């Protein structure tokens, strides 16, 4: 681990000024912590709030910023004003990140960096193309640090529970490709995931909105322990949440699959 961390330190030290895009997940919070420790005066953290960002993520950013005295700017990236983003094509993340980096760039002359790690390069990440367009750098990738390395570094930095945060893509990732992104639906998705998490304490939970209904995806261990009575009761509860907000959906359960909301996944060289 020493060699990648040393490489990361050298990369960070070479940047005269740094603007960190901080989502509130373990990757960006760890990177922000590293950069601030080496660039106290020359670093600014940018966090975008929107209906797609859980309030817990914003709260984590605020708490850590206050604790470590970060210069933090809370912004609205404006992606919900973008018709292309709301249409939810398979490359929706491209439009999300285009809006994010496009909102940060006019506010700073610093080098924009992201918490992308080496493992992310093996997944479908259209947002990386947007990062290219805005000359965003990815210090973890440049230093050869993967997700496990980020978590190890977070523990070394004393970030506690943050080091063990599960992967948490934006709430829009729960909506099946082609279904328009609706802020009120995202709120219900998040509410559902919190209800399921409180009742079942799963390792992973995703509330997917599909053309044929709501699918609650759970890790295999949790799903295997869920008997029919529990399924029926929880399905009724979730259906009622959506019905009371004006949406009628059938609710079912399935094993968790990464990126299962993408109907037509494609591959892109980044």
CATH number reported for the structural domain that contains residue 224 in this entry: 3.30.70.2210
Tell me which residue of 167, 45, 193 sits closest to 108, measured CA to CA. 45
pLDDT for 266: 42
pLDDT for 268: 33
Q: How many domains does the chain have?
A: 2
Beta bridge partner(s), residue 74? 47
pLDDT for 2: 73
Local structure of residue 20 (DSSP, 8 states): E
Tell me which residue of 190, 206, 175, 200 sits closest to 241, measured CA to CA. 190
pTM over 0.85: yes
Q: Are residues 207 and 159 both part of a single domain?
A: no
Tokens representing residue 150 in the block: 């980020």
Instruction: Determine how many CB atoms are found less than 10 A away from the CB of residue 189.
Output: 25
Q: Are residues 110 and 224 both part of a single domain?
A: no
Collapsed DSSP state (helix, strand, coil) of residue 215: strand
Determine the Cα–Cα distance for residues 55 and 63; give it in Å rounded to an integer: 12
Mean per-residue pLDDT pooled into runs of 10, the chain (270 residues): 82 93 97 89 92 96 96 96 96 96 97 95 88 97 96 94 89 95 96 96 95 95 95 96 94 88 47
pLDDT for 169: 86
Q: Are residues 188 and 152 both part of a single domain?
A: no
Q: Are residues 225 and 153 both part of a single domain?
A: no
Tokens representing residue 154 in the block: 């977070």
- Expressed as residue numbers, the domain containing 213 is 171-255
CA distances (Å), origin 83, targets 78, 115, 178: 11, 27, 13
Q: Which residue has the tokens 């610093």?
A: 110
């Amino acid at each position: 681990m020493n060699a990648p961390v040393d490489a990361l330190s050298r990369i960070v030290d070479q940047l005269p000024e740094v603007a960190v895009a901080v989502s509130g997940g373990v990757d960006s919070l760890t990177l922000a912590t590293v950069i601030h420790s080496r660039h106290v005066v020359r670093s600014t953290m940018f966090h975008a709030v929107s209906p797609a960002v859980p309030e817990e993520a914003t709260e984590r950013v605020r708490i850590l910023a206050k604790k470590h005295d970060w210069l933090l700017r809370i912004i609205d990236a404006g992606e919900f004003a973008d018709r292309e983003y709301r249409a939810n094509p398979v490359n929706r993340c491209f439009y999300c990140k285009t809006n994010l980096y496009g909102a940060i760039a006019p506010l700073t002359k610093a080098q924009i960096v992201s918490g992308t790690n080496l493992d992310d390069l093996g997944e479908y990440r259209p947002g990386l193309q947007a990062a290219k367009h805005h000359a965003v750098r990815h210090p973890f990738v440049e230093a050869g640090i993967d997700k496990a390395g980020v978590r190890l570094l977070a523990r070394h930095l004393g970030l506690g529970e943050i080091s063990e945060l599960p992967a948490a893509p934006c709430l829009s990732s729960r909506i099946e490709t082609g279904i328009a992104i609706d802020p009120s639906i995202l709120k219900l998705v998040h509410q559902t995931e919190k209800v399921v998490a409180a009742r079942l304490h799963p390792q992973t939970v995703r509330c997917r909105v599909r053309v044929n209904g709501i699918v609650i995806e759970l890790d295999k261990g949790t799903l295997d322990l869920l008997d029919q009575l529990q399924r029926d009761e929880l399905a009724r509860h979730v259906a009622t949440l959506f019905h009371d907000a004006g949406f009628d959906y059938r609710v079912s359960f399935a094993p968790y699959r990464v990126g299962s909301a993408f109907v037509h996944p494609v591959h892109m060289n980044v």
